[in-house]
Structure 1
Amino acid sequence: MTSVFPAFPRFVFTVLEPISLIAGAVAPFVSPEWFIAEQTPKASLQLASANARVVAYQLGNIYLLLAMVGIAVLYSTTEPKVVRNYVVALWIADIGSHVAITCYNIEYAELVNFAEWNPMTWGNIGATVALFLTRTAYLLGIFGPNRQAALISKKLQ
């Protein structure tokens, strides 16, 4: 593995996150109605419109694309600047898309009632906030410095 991350963020960003993205990619293809219904804590499985199913499939496709891009970037570069820029882009998207959009579209009473959140809401808000905090800690250098590119290159030879 060529990742320049220190140990903990390397595990989170190169193993856990790709697995969660692949799971997010598979879910709408298995059951688009379920995937659509689970986007808010009060899930009600209804027949989804063709438009809603297309959006669910497209979102699944984007999750798969994100997993592939992450794997391609993080497993192929030894350049810390590339990795940092990738993490910054994800850091911005974490709060902007997943958390803010999800929170905006859930009624306040449901939003603050954590006990009633479904797994999708925990993923969209809880897991994303955890990733955001891990990215923040990495960007602030809390996990220590990046691994040196020369050390990584020697390991590959």
Structure 2
Amino acid sequence: MTDFQALSGFYQLLFLYFEPMSTMFPALMSWIFPGAAWFHHQLIPSDAPVPAAPLDARTLMMVWQLGNCYLLLGLVSSLVFRAARDSLSHDPIAQERIVGSLLAALAIADLTHIAATLVGLPADLRYAFFSWNPMTHGNITVVVILFSVRIAWFLGINRTRYYFFAHRKTKTA
């Protein structure tokens, strides 16, 4: 198999393996263990224990649907990157166009996810970085890192560009 030119080295490790696994994991956490009530409680950092009362039907459905969104995000990333690698192994330009399109969509989603999380946090926790729990760091800190690496990919840092901002020869008349 040839190298995956559009995603090489660190980019391949991050976007083809780490990110899909890290986005599918919350789905399992919300559905199976520790469960929807724990997941719901962790969305806003708190020292209070997880309430013993079950979630109402609407909240439970919302948490499970959120889990489904996480699963979908992980599957789309994993499957599209692999399809580009396997189907276009000898066409790095086409690979980069497809990978770049997905990374652009993910970058936009990163920004809206960060904004929604920050706006949803109580004002006293919004910028209290050291008071955040792992869920909040996952929703903000990790997503900021992923967004930054996506921008680095578009800037061509530590990779060869084939399509996005690549220098192309133009035809002269």
Partner Cα separation in structure 1 for residue 115 and residue 81 of structure 2? 26
Q: Which amino acid aligns with 2:60?
A: R
C-alpha displacement of 1:69: 1.2
Partner Cα separation in structure 2 for residue 72 and residue 144 of structure 1? 22
Aligned-pair Cα RMSD in Å: 1.9
C-alpha displacement of 1:28: 0.8
Whether the 8 Å CA contact 1:29–1:60 is kept in 2: the answer is: yes
C-alpha displacement of 1:146: 4.7
Whether the 8 Å CA contact 1:5–1:146 is kept in 2: the answer is: no
2:94 aligned with 1:88, yes or no? no
Identity of aligned residues (%): 32
C-alpha displacement of 1:42: 2.1
Structure 1 stretch displaced more, 106-115 or 119-128: 106-115
For the pair shown, the structure with the greater C-alpha radius of gyration is 2
When the two structures are aligned, how many residues end up with a matched partner? Answer: 147
Partner Cα separation in structure 1 for residue 162 and residue 29 of structure 2? 35
Query: The residue matched to 2:157 in structure 1 has which SS?
Result: coil
Partner Cα separation in structure 1 for residue 36 and residue 78 of structure 2? 26
C-alpha displacement of 1:65: 1.5
Structure 1 stretch displaced more, 83-92 or 99-108: 99-108
TM-score by length of 1: 0.86
Partner Cα separation in structure 2 for residue 65 and residue 139 of structure 1? 24
Q: 10, 17, 26: which one pairs with 1:8?
A: 10
1:74-101 deviation per Cα after TM superposition (whole angstroms, max 9, x unaligned) = 01113210100000000000011x2100
Structure 1 pair 43–141 and aligned structure 2 pair: CA distance change class (3 A): farther
Q: Which amino acid aligns with 2:138?
A: G
- Give structure 2 stretches of 5+ with no counterpart: 89-94, 164-173
> Equivalent residues in 2 for 1:74-113 (5 A)?
74-77=81-84, 78=88, 79-96=95-112, 98-113=113-128
2:49 aligned with 1:42, yes or no? no
Q: 75, 78, 85: which one pairs with 1:68?
A: 75
TM-score by length of 2: 0.79
Q: Which has the higher contact order (CA 8 A, sep 6+)?
A: 1
Whether the 8 Å CA contact 2:24–2:75 is kept in 1: the answer is: no
Query: The residue matched to 2:98 in structure 1 has which SS?
Result: helix
Partner Cα separation in structure 2 for residue 51 and residue 108 of structure 1? 26
Partner Cα separation in structure 1 for residue 9 and residue 161 of structure 2? 9
C-alpha displacement of 1:39: 0.7
Q: Which amino acid aligns with 1:70?
A: S
Whether the 8 Å CA contact 1:22–1:67 is kept in 2: the answer is: yes
